[in-house]
Structure 1
């Protein structure tokens, strides 16, 4: 009877709101680098994995300089919809959760930092430039009251910047209010790009706690009660088994191909491979490699914030450089293609988010390599232009051959083998089999020859 009563009381306690005990493992995910399509895919699938495995907590260990807005919002949507509580932990010491990382930290059920870390600087980067434009006396007019197109353009850019900042400020304020964190400082992080150290962040109630590592974090979270989907859950994380879910091969490949530099190189290889295949059909190597690289490049560019004018200029530049090989213009088309490629590569990525630019060194290297290829094509074209013809009538006249046999009854006619073909020859003087002859002229299918009285040395 006592056991029956205890079991019933225990079941009743577990069903009461605020007394539901979380049980299970803790899934640990790691983000080290810019927030992009690869990290968004990795975190979204990691949260889904934790839900399927009935984990009691997801810990996102993060160290990021920021990232893309679309990827950041995808991660935040997954966190907000997760039935498993998510703790974002800025670690190890020296790490940061800047820009997009600050939003993710605010969206998480638990925000924690390691000593020596920082967060903030959450101002969105304006496409095409940084926020803030020079002051004007009057938008759209110069000092003399005349219309100023540049001033009007600056005014439009300022309006766009204000819209972006106001949207970002409202977004992070909403996240702060949802999690009961410091909304005023969150808005300052967006509008003024301010940052905080770990200690100051805890003092200002921007984060919930400080911890040295994941084990210390779990020990401090043990017994904490969270509200998930209208239901209160008490964590039991002390000594809970950890499931380290590292990025798999799919995430690693996605991270590589969505690197802007790699995407640019893949596109170059793809276009050159197809051009090689079209100019030398039948080999298949250029078509296969070029097709695969071009598809991967287009997929990567679809996920990246690209400037389509940049893509168009790059493709135009590559086509111009390839056209130089087919219709030599002494470098005019080729070097024009290099100029178009360089300009397109510079403006290809339409954002200034850290980690998503194309290094100038890579652009210069690719441009110089293309210039060397064009120089090589020009050199080969000039050598071919100066070389004597070795085919057709020009190739036959002056060539030498051995008389294979004579025609019956005509000692001045016979047969020779030239350029892989059998030719009938005629001479004004009698000939003999095995004699070396030189071609003087061609008359249709008949070659006029003469006996070669001075055979080459060594014969």
Structure 2
């Protein structure tokens, strides 16, 4: 108050009272703002559905970064995955363990699962919950996404090496987060899977929550250890902000489907074949080239055999060769190679992929066989039509004139004359005189001169 009185005495009379009132209003406003209750906490949310691949892992890592930059109270991850790339999973786990914002994983809704690689992501969270009717586990390195055991596909030594490395990875995550490390190792070694209530009893997850809201309400006030130190969660009635993946992340995640990769290779084959048989159309060739680029991009996100891709390219090459050779054998071999390439496309022994055995992540035969037969049949049909076309007499140019009929525009003799044939005026000669207006037939062509005979009626 003394400061305010001193300010009024030193301020000129006309401006003293308005400035004083403004200063008082600012002081009172600051007091009201300081005493006002804080707003609702903000929680970021991202969703992982489907395979853990390069696209989805980049999305989850970016979600952690965006939540940290925004200073949100927590990051909520809704999880439903059969597993995926171990390298992509390790990248997500590193981001979760180094996160400065609490990461909460909810396996849901009912019917969802955290299979294979999903186990590691769940264990790496600060708090985890599962909806009723969900399950977690089956983290054993199942080979090639086809159900084979590593020992059957790669031998005992390779199987032991892969199993020990993966079990140690799961144990280290569980110990760092204070969860059941023994169960984590068992989930890898014995491929066990447990439902939500049993997972809570085994201290694999902290809670069974029917919804995300229930999970956030339960987590409110609980302490967690982040990279920045201990924090107490404020998540009750939080405002949830959805973090959407970028277009490139959506595209890469969407393309990481073996059946889609195979179909893209087939579209590329058809487009290139049509472009080669109809030069200058451009559209089929452009579509084929784009499909080929997308197929190669998707192959980088899946355990795709290089040899299978080579088989597909050789099969495509044989189908293209069939268009020029028309033997039938090349087309049949090309179709056979397309079938083999599709069956062998996904690697049957890739220790860097962990997928629930129930997940049918491979190119199914009901897609491989019809697609290869359609593409092969299409190429054989084009070759057959090309062969028929080559056997037909040439109708264009000079070679198509013999046998054509016309009329004499002037008298025609051995000295010369003029005829009208095939819509054009020609110089003509004839061994026998032909009167003007008489019908003529072309016997042969020499340069720009037609040798004609009169058509007797």
Q: Which TM class, normalised by the smaller chain length? A: 0.7 to 0.9
Separation (CA, whole Å) in 2 of partners of 1:260 and 1:22: 47
Contact kept? 2:142, 2:150, Cα under 8 Å: no
Separation (CA, whole Å) in 2 of partners of 1:449 and 1:240: 97
Separation (CA, whole Å) in 2 of partners of 1:367 and 1:130: 26
- Indicate which of 368, 377, 382 corresponds to 1:377: 382
Contact kept? 2:151, 2:158, Cα under 8 Å: no
- Indicate which of 306, 320, 342 corresponds to 1:322: 320
Separation (CA, whole Å) in 1 of partners of 2:228 and 2:399: 92
2:91 aligned with 1:88? no
Separation (CA, whole Å) in 1 of partners of 2:450 and 2:186: 93
2:305 aligned with 1:307? yes
C-alpha deviation, 1:361, in angstroms? 1.0
2:420 aligned with 1:430? no
Q: Give matches, 1:101-116, under 5 Å.
A: 101-116=118-133
2:92 aligned with 1:47? no
Q: Give matches, 1:28-43, under 5 Å.
A: 28-43=45-60
| CA distance 1:31–1:438, shift in 2 (3 Å) | same
C-alpha deviation, 1:264, in angstroms? 1.9
Provide the secondary structure at the position in 2 that maps to 1:67: strand
Separation (CA, whole Å) in 2 of partners of 1:413 and 1:33: 83
Counterpart of 1:131?
A: 149
- Indicate which of 448, 452, 455 corresponds to 2:455: 452
- Indicate which of 73, 80, 105 corresponds to 1:63: 80
Separation (CA, whole Å) in 2 of partners of 1:278 and 1:377: 11
Contact kept? 1:34, 1:355, Cα under 8 Å: no
C-alpha deviation, 1:441, in angstroms? 2.9
Counterpart of 1:167?
A: 165
Contact kept? 2:331, 2:380, Cα under 8 Å: no
- Indicate which of 324, 330, 333 corresponds to 2:330: 333
C-alpha deviation, 1:45, in angstroms? 2.0
Separation (CA, whole Å) in 1 of partners of 2:198 and 2:39: 31
C-alpha deviation, 1:443, in angstroms? 4.1
2:263 aligned with 1:255? no
- Indicate which of 192, 206, 210 corresponds to 2:190: 192
C-alpha deviation, 1:442, in angstroms? 3.3
After superposition, the C-alpha distances for 1:90-131 in whole angstroms (9 at most, x for unaligned) are 111222111111111111111211222211111012348722
C-alpha deviation, 1:309, in angstroms? 0.3
Separation (CA, whole Å) in 2 of partners of 1:365 and 1:390: 39
Separation (CA, whole Å) in 1 of partners of 2:63 and 2:171: 26
Separation (CA, whole Å) in 2 of partners of 1:186 and 1:286: 51
Larger deviation, residues 66-75 vs 390-399:
390-399
- Indicate which of 232, 235, 252 corresponds to 2:233: 235
TM-score with structure 2 setting the length: 0.83
Counterpart of 1:290?
A: 288
| CA distance 1:195–1:213, shift in 2 (3 Å) | same
- Indicate which of 343, 349, 362 corresponds to 2:346: 349
| CA distance 1:418–1:299, shift in 2 (3 Å) | farther
Higher relative contact order (CA closer than 8 Å, sequence separation 6+): 2
Separation (CA, whole Å) in 2 of partners of 1:283 and 1:129: 45
Q: Give matches, 1:67-82, under 5 Å.
A: 67-82=84-99
After superposition, the C-alpha distances for 1:313-342 in whole angstroms (9 at most, x for unaligned) are 00000110111112211x111111111111
- Indicate which of 355, 368, 374 corresponds to 2:373: 368
| CA distance 1:340–1:419, shift in 2 (3 Å) | farther
C-alpha deviation, 1:76, in angstroms? 1.3
2:136 aligned with 1:119? yes
After superposition, the C-alpha distances for 1:219-260 in whole angstroms (9 at most, x for unaligned) are 111111111125111111111111123445444333332222
Counterpart of 2:32?
A: none
Separation (CA, whole Å) in 2 of partners of 1:258 and 1:404: 72
After superposition, the C-alpha distances for 1:355-401 in whole angstroms (9 at most, x for unaligned) are 53112111112111023213412431453355344357763222112
Larger deviation, residues 22-31 vs 68-77:
22-31
C-alpha deviation, 1:167, in angstroms? 0.6
C-alpha deviation, 1:207, in angstroms? 1.1
Separation (CA, whole Å) in 2 of partners of 1:188 and 1:22: 44
Counterpart of 1:149?
A: none
Larger deviation, residues 244-253 vs 367-376:
244-253
Alignment gaps of 5+ in structure 2: 1-37, 350-354
Provide the secondary structure at the position in 1 that maps to 2:250: helix
